[in-house]
Amino acid sequence: MNYPKLKALKYKLIIPLLVFLFGTGVLCVVIYKISYTNQERVRDKAALNAVSYADRMIADLNNGITITKSLEQIIISENGQIEHFEKVAENMMTDSIQSIQLAPGGVVTDIYPEKGNDTGKIDLINDPSRGEIARYGRDNNITVMQGPFQLKQGDVGITIRNPVYLENESGDKYFWGFTISIIRVPEIFSDSVNALEDFGYYYRLSKTLSPLTGEFTEIYSNCEEFISPVTYQFELGGCSWKLEVTPKDGWHADSQTTTVFIGGFIILFLLTGLTYALMVLQANGIILQNLSSTDNLTGLLNRNGFQEHLTKYMKKHSNEHCVCIALDIDDFKFINDLFGHSTGDKALCILADTIRSSFPKNSILCRSGGDEFCIILKNCTCKDAKAQIEAFTDMPRSFIASNQTQSFNISVGYAQYNPDDGSVEQLLIDADTALYNVKIKGKHECLEFNPNMNKKIRTPLGFALSDISKNLPGAFIIYKADKKDDSILFANKEMLNLTGCSNFDELIDYTGRSFRNIIKEDEREAVEENIWKQINALENDNNDYLSFSLKRKDGTVIPVLDHGRLINSRHYGNIFYVFIIDHDLVRKCLN
């Protein structure tokens, strides 16, 4: 038996097993913590909703109390009388009010509407079921509620009785009677309960029958069984009210526990497998080889990997033709500057995907650096590959930025390796020379190398929009050349200083992104008309200076000169590039 190999195998299995067991323990703790935290969060949210909607219910119930208080004020002001009671009550009626009543001396004499409610004309003080509560409200001078009870009309109601006291000629207060409103439930707080249901809650509203009992009676609910509800209690009309709320989906609603559990175990299995793979790869040195030859972003070969694969290929196939393709993204610096490097990375990955799908699998594919790519098509000539390369060049490509689809193009140069008189080094130079000539001609094209091409060495300056604009000795702004949409796209530091803003976001907040908002209000229409008049009569791609008053963020205005140019952008259509010059500063320099 080969004991060293068996020992190595056990070592490779034990370590991943320990990783799995340890990871399982950590995952269980994380899941418990997430579950507990989520349940607390859901309960806190439910409690907050219970308080919020209970407050709304209190406000709804107070509308019924307000009716009795308004009647009380009329009675006091009219010394115990209400003329035209039916008219007054009619104006106070709402959809949730069953009836409005007057009970001088505790005896109900006036009811609106009387039809269907006339049986309510009773002696409240001496009534067997109402007398004790009525006397309690009278003796303590407090508004009391009684119910719920079944109305004659089949609905459920709650009575609100407000005792009214008047003063006699001696200034002593005496009991006049009750002003009463009977409200229908749950109609009076239908908006609140409907909102709770729409937000995914079961609810139950209960109250004590009267101020004289502590026993709760259910008024309305949308569920028979409640599991550990949150409860909010409040006092109103001498009674205790209780609103119970529980989520329809349970207290683990919106929980991420299942997702974390599944994702955690997937990650755990992957981690365990990766641990084992890393141990194997570490022994074989494969992982180091891959890292040294592959581009991390696109998954294509990097420069070192490309050179290694090309060298191996040429040693075995030095007598075969092959084609080298050099390409890059047009205006890649513009993409990075305008949309950010992460978006630029997306464009690189999209291009890499089209390279993989467009050329044979045995091709050598490389991202040589930045936005530059190199491809070796094996065992073919430029004539063989021409149609394929042209189709690849013209292929539409786009990425998503700022919720809009932005297209981008590439430039391609290619050259052929001839076994009789060629070299690998010269092949790469020829392909790059062809690409350089595409750039000279205007980009977005593919060209085959020929010896008559301009062979000037490519020496890009390396300037970027941010480098140039940041250091411009003047205020510079870019905005859309559209009468209906003059959105500001860019402003340099000098422009921010001129408007009194500390950063670009502050400028956007101040102007609402509109260029016209930096123009003084009473000059906007004339200035915009002048700008478009100059643009419509544009000659030699230039326009004259324009003077207007620039409105700064602090409200002050300064006279400025505007000198701009209309540019057609592939990404934004027509845009203005504009220099803004402080007019007083120019005048001072001239003097």
User: Is residue 1 pLDDT above 60, yes or no?
Assistant: no
Residues 98, 218: one domain?
yes
Question: What does the H/E/C string look like for 436-492?
Answer: HHHHHHCCCCEEECCCCCCCCCCCCCCCCHHHHHHCCCCEEEEEECCCCCCEEEEEC
Residues 67, 212: one domain?
yes
pTM assigned to the model: 0.42
pLDDT score, position 537: 65
The region, left, alpha or beta by phi > 0 then psi within -120 to 50, assigned to residue 228 is: left
21 domain-assigned: no
User: Is residue 255 pLDDT above 60, yes or no?
Assistant: no
Residues 62, 202: one domain?
yes
Residues 371, 472: one domain?
no
278 domain-assigned: no
Residues 333, 434: one domain?
yes
528 domain-assigned: yes
261 domain-assigned: no
Question: What type of residue sits at position 90?
Answer: E
Dump pLDDT digits (tens) for 140-184. 999 999 988 888 777 788 999 999 999 988 889 999 999 999 998
Domain boundary pick from 247, 268, 303: 247
Residues 381, 298: one domain?
yes
161 domain-assigned: yes
Residues present in the chain in total: 591
135 domain-assigned: yes
Residues 302, 346: one domain?
yes
User: Is residue 289 pLDDT above 50, yes or no?
Assistant: yes
Residues 228, 154: one domain?
yes
pLDDT score, position 276: 72
Q: What is the CATH number of the domain that holds 405?
A: 3.30.70.270
Dump pLDDT digits (tens) for 512-550. 999 999 999 999 998 888 888 877 765 444 556 788 999
Residues 94, 241: one domain?
yes
The region, left, alpha or beta by phi > 0 then psi within -120 to 50, assigned to residue 178 is: beta
49 domain-assigned: no
Confidence class for position 460, pLDDT limits 50, 70, 90: very low
Domain containing 543: what range?
465-590
Residues 61, 170: one domain?
yes
Dump pLDDT digits (tens) for 397-456. 999 887 888 899 999 999 999 988 778 899 999 999 999 989 888 789 999 999 888 765
If you average pLDDT over residues 72-86, what whole number do you get?
A: 89
**Top-confidence residue, 30 or 407:** 407
Quote the CA–CA distance of 151 and 157 in Å, as a whole number. Answer: 6
Residues 491, 377: one domain?
no
Q: Specify the number of domains making up the chain.
A: 3
Asked if 574 and 567 count as a contact pair (C-beta separation under 8 A), the reply is yes
pLDDT score, position 224: 80
**Top-confidence residue, 86 or 15:** 86
Q: What is the CATH number of the domain that holds 473?
A: 3.30.450.20
pLDDT score, position 65: 92
542 domain-assigned: yes
Domain boundary pick from 231, 247, 263: 247
Residues 302, 329: one domain?
yes
Domain boundary pick from 421, 448, 475: 448
Q: Find the helix or strand (DSSP H, E) in which 173 lies.
A: strand 173-185
Quote the CA–CA distance of 287 and 294 in Å, as a whole number. Answer: 11
Question: What type of residue sits at position 200?
Answer: G
Asked if 382 and 416 count as a contact pair (C-beta separation under 8 A), the reply is yes
